Amino acid sequence: MTSNLRRFGAVAALGLTLTAGLSACGSNSSGSTSAGSGSSMSGGSGASGGSGTSNAGAQTFGPACSAVPKSGAGSFDGMVKDPVATAASNNPLLSTLVTAVTKAGLVDTLNGASGLTVFAPTNDAFAKLPKKQLDAVLANKKMLTAILEHHVVAGKLSPSQVDGSHKTLDKDTVTVKGSTKGMTVDGAHVLCGNIPTANATVYVIDSVLLPGKM
């Protein structure tokens, strides 16, 4: 885990939406995005959860999957029914990430997009950052948005598809190595991977990823 945030340089202007950015990224997938119009984290789900919702966690992997609730909206069967920002808001492991996404104003765009892979830092991952630096990031929308966009790539990528390098929404790259037996994302360990939501695949990680320009 990166223990210190380097001083953040200028980030790309936010005139481009998440949807526009995703159309240009994703080295291993062809997932497209569309702008969302949902107005709240609790908005109704969009796309179908795929092959049923009664055993949505069957293909997940990692040591922290057992910490996901067994029932309710925050369970695998619950998350698959909701778009990714809403699904994350129901998962107790990801409350800090949800706060960050909300502060950055990315809830509607994440929920409205289709075909995403999200590398989601846990609460403990954010807690590793010095409090003053974390508070500074949360208070700076441009900086926060750049960091969050660095955790998103195009396409709902399976474990075999996600292995390799991918262009992020922040126009940087992340490199994923490994398989369901053990996987890292730029050195961060995947704690629970291949979690399905209505519009994305989520890989929960133990560190916050920082763009290379920061």
Q: Which residue has the higher pLDDT, 73 or 20?
A: 73
Mean pLDDT over 84-90 rounds to 96
pLDDT at position 46 over 80: no
What pLDDT, on the 0 to 100 scale, is given for residue 214? 61
Q: Give the pLDDT confidence of 110-128 residue by residue, as tens digits.
A: 999 989 999 999 999 999 9
**Which pLDDT score is estimated for 33?**
35
Average pLDDT over residues 138-154: 95
Task: Give me the domains of the chain, ranges plus CATH numbers.
Answer: 53-205 (2.30.180.10)
Q: Return the pLDDT at 189.
A: 98
Q: Please give the Cα distance from 90 to 36 (Å, whole number).
A: 19
174-189: pLDDT as tens digits: 999 999 999 999 999 9
Two tokens, residue 84: 């990714």
Report pTM: 0.77
Centre a 10 Å sphere on the Cβ of residue 207 and count the other Cβ atoms it contains.
Answer: 22
User: Radius of gyration of the chain from Cα atoms?
Assistant: 15
CB under 8 Å to 38, separation ≥6 — which residues? 44, 83, 86, 107, 108, 111, 112
Q: What is residue 92's predicted lDDT score, i.e. its pLDDT?
A: 86
**H or E stretch covering 86:** helix 84-89
